[in-house]
Structures are given as C-alpha cells and as structure tokens.
C-alpha cells in the first residue's frame, strides 16, 4: 500500500500530465521524503535557492516578498493543500528567491531534492512536460491574481473568504490586506459587510 501522502502527490501530478509512466512513478517514490514543519517555520528564506520541490499534503503557508532596497516584507501569495510552493524566479530557474515562505500552521510536505529530480530527467521524458505544465498552471494563477484587481476590493476579499473560510484563523490580518493590496482599515470595513 502506498503512503497516502505519496498517493495524493501522484494523483495531482497525473492531473498536470496524465501520461506519466508506471516506471516514473516507481522511481519517484524511491526519491520522495516526508517532513512536517511547525507553524511559523520558514521553508524557504529570502535569497535562498530552493533545494527541494515541495508538495503540501496538509497545511498552508504565506509567501512574503522582500523589497531589496528597504527589506520591507509584503504578503503576495498564499499556499494551501495540494499546492507546490515555490517562488518566481526561484525553483525552476535556480535563482535566489526574492521572497520567503512561512508556514501558517503545522504543515506536512512531500518533497524531493531538486538535484535528484534533475538526475531523473534523462531517463524520463515526461519530466519536461510535467514541470512545464506545473509552471504554466502557477503562471496562469499569477495572471488571474493580477486580473482580479480589475474588480472591487470587496469582490477580491469575498472570493478569498469563500475559497478559504478559515483564512482569518490562519493568516495575520495585515498579510491578508497586503495580499489584496488594501489597507487594514479597508479590510476591516469590508469584513463587517
């Protein structure tokens, strides 16, 4: 019986690329590890090169962009279950991260060392389209996030609340406001209505 966390990861990968071979799945299972980090831990630091590909089995995280001139931090992304958290540029480009990723709760990951994953590339042609499809998916989500600013702040706040009803119990309210690019006062007012 496959570990449930590994099984969920395989199911998610097949959504991105249904033609994954059994041989690839078996090899991947050899390379995967599981780890749980406590709430508040950083799984990626500012200017660090991410050394593992991660998949959130249970838990959530916030990504905070660090302004290189002022070192001011701004929440730009939330990551939830079934997400592959990484910064852009970062994991795929092997560049130092412009952000850091901090856990909003105790979070259980399935991971693979990025170097191990790269070593598999020559043996498994499905890796290229799989990683491109994952990257494209998150590029699309980033585009949709930017497009969302055509709508009112109320619309954006309600949409996040509906998608993640527990968000105010997980994240700091100022991070939620930063994510929406509104003031704390505006967010508090919108939450009352």
**pLDDT value for 2:** 66
**pLDDT value for 64:** 97
**pLDDT value for 179:** 96
- 1 confidence band (pLDDT: 50, 70, 90): very low
Q: Average pLDDT of the chain?
A: 93
| Interval 91-120: pLDDT, tens | 777 889 999 999 999 999 999 998 998 899
Q: How many CB atoms lie within 10 A of CB 11?
A: 10
Helix axes 4-16, 127-147, angle to 10 degrees: 80
How far apart CA 52 and CA 32 sit, in angstroms, is 10
| Interval 30-80: pLDDT, tens | 999 999 999 999 999 999 999 999 999 999 999 999 999 999 999 999 999
Measured at the alpha carbon of residue 175, what is the angle toward residues 157 and 62, in degrees to the nearest 5? 100
173: helix, strand or coil? helix
Identify the residue whose tokens are 């491109």: 132
* DSSP strands (E only) in 45-140: 52-58, 61-66, 73-79, 99-103, 107-113
pTM of the predicted model over 0.95: no
Helix then strand then coil, in percent of the chain rounded to 5, is: 45, 20, 35
Which one, of 36, 41, 21, 11, lies nearest residue 103 by Cα?
Answer: 41
Rounded (10°) CA dihedral 68, 74, 80, 83: -30
Question: What mean pLDDT do residues 163-192 have?
Answer: 94
- 189 confidence band (pLDDT: 50, 70, 90): very high
């Amino acid at each position: 019986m496959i570990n449930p966390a590994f099984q969920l990861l395989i199911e998610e990968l097949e959504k991105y690329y249904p033609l994954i071979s059994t041989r690839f799945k078996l090899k991947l299972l050899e390379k995967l590890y599981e780890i749980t980090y406590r709430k508040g831990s950083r799984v990626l630091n500012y200017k660090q090169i991410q050394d593992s590909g991660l998949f959130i089995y249970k838990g959530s995280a916030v990504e905070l962009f660090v302004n290189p001139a002022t070192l001011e931090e701004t929440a730009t992304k939330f990551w939830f279950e079934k997400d592959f958290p990484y910064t852009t540029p970062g994991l795929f480009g092997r560049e130092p991260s412009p952000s850091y990723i901090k856990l909003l709760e105790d979070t259980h990951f399935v991971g693979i060392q990025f170097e191990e994953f790269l070593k598999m590339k020559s043996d498994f042609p499905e890796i290229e389209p799989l990683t491109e499809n994952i990257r494209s998916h998150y590029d699309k989500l980033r585009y949709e996030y930017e497009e969302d600013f055509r709508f009112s702040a109320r619309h954006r706040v309600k949409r996040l609340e509906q998608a993640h009803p527990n968000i105010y119990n997980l994240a700091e309210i100022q991070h939620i406001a930063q994510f929406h690019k509104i003031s704390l006062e505006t967010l508090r007012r919108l939450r009352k209505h």
